[in-house]
Structure 1
Amino acid sequence: MKWNLRLTAANKGIWKASELQRMLADHGLVISAGKMSGLWSGQPVSLKLEDLDVVCVVLGCEIGDLLIPEPDKVPRPGQQETRRVAVGATVSPAVVPKRRDGRSLPPG
C-alpha cells in the first residue's frame, strides 16, 4: 500500500502538517508532533481505524484516496522475491547482529 496523505491534503488546500494537525485536533484526534511528522512525510507504522475515519472526515476524502493498492509488489507463490535498486544507488550489506561479548549469534 502506498500512503497518500500529503497529496490528498494538498488537493484540499492543506499544505502544512501543522495545519492538518490542528484540524484533526478540532475533531478530537490529538496527534503528537512526532507521529504527525511520520504521517505527513512517510509511511505510518500504525494507524487506528478510528483515527483513519477522522482523517477522512477532515479531508473530505475516501479511504481509497489515502491508501493506494500496489498489488505488483506482492510476491506470487513460487516466484522469487526480487529487490529493485535505482540505477547508481549503492546497496549496503545486510546488518548482522552480534552479541555484546563479540561472539556471533547462532544461525536463525
Structure 2
Amino acid sequence: MEAKLKKRLTWRLRVMLAERNITTATELKRRLESYGYEITSSQLTRIIRERPERISTDLLDHLLAILRCEVTDLLRLDQIELDQADDNQPVVEKPEQPQKKRIRRVPDIEDGNGDITGPKVTPFPIPTRK
C-alpha cells in the first residue's frame, strides 16, 4: 500500500495581521468599515482566532484589499503524509470518544393502578378567616 497525502488548508489571518502591524480586532474592524464593510466584533474575532468554515467572498475581498495580499497568503495548502492508510477507509483525524451507555430509568410502580405521575400530595388545609 502507498502512503496517502492529506491536504489541509491553514488559515493565516493572524500572521498577515502581525506582518501588517494590525494588533487588534478593533483596528481591523475600523479599516473594514472605512472600506464600506460592516461586521460585528464577535464575528470578526471568531474569524481571526480560527479558520472559518465559510467566509463570504465580499469579506475575503475586503481582507485582501486591506492586507494587500493574495488569497494564497491567507490560505495555505499544507500536505501531511499519513501512515499507510487503506484506500477504502475514510481518514479520521482524531479518534472519537466512546459514548457512554445511556441507562434508562424505569419508574417503580408500587400500587397496581399504573399511575406514574409521582406520589399523591394532599394540600395544606386553608385556615378560615374570622
TM-score by length of 1: 0.69
Aligned residues: 93
For the aligned residue pairs, the C-alpha RMSD in angstroms reads 3.1
Higher relative contact order (CA closer than 8 Å, sequence separation 6+): 2
**CA deviation digits over 1:34-57, x for unaligned, max 9?**
110111111113211121111000
Out of 49, 55, 74, which is 1:47 matched to?
Answer: 55
Deviation at 1:70, TM superposition (A): 2.6
1:88 aligns to what? none
Structure 1 or 2: more helix by fraction: 1
CA distance, structure 2, for counterparts of residue 17 and residue 60 of structure 1: 17
Out of 90, 93, 96, which is 2:98 matched to?
Answer: 93
Percent identity for Structure 1 against Structure 2: 25
CA distance, structure 1, for counterparts of residue 12 and residue 68 of structure 2: 14
Structure 1 or 2: more strand by fraction: 2
Q: 1:66 to 1:10 in 2, by over 3 A?
A: same
Letter in 2 for 1:20: L
TM-score by length of 2: 0.59
Once superposed, which parts of structure 1, at least 4 consecutive aligned residues long, lie more than 3 Å away? 91-96
Where does the alignment leave 5 or more consecutive residues of structure 1 unmatched? 86-90, 103-108
Out of 15, 25, 30, which is 1:17 matched to?
Answer: 25
CA distance, structure 1, for counterparts of residue 58 and residue 100 of structure 2: 36
Where does the alignment leave 5 or more consecutive residues of structure 2 unmatched? 1-8, 106-130
CA distance, structure 2, for counterparts of residue 40 and residue 58 of structure 1: 14
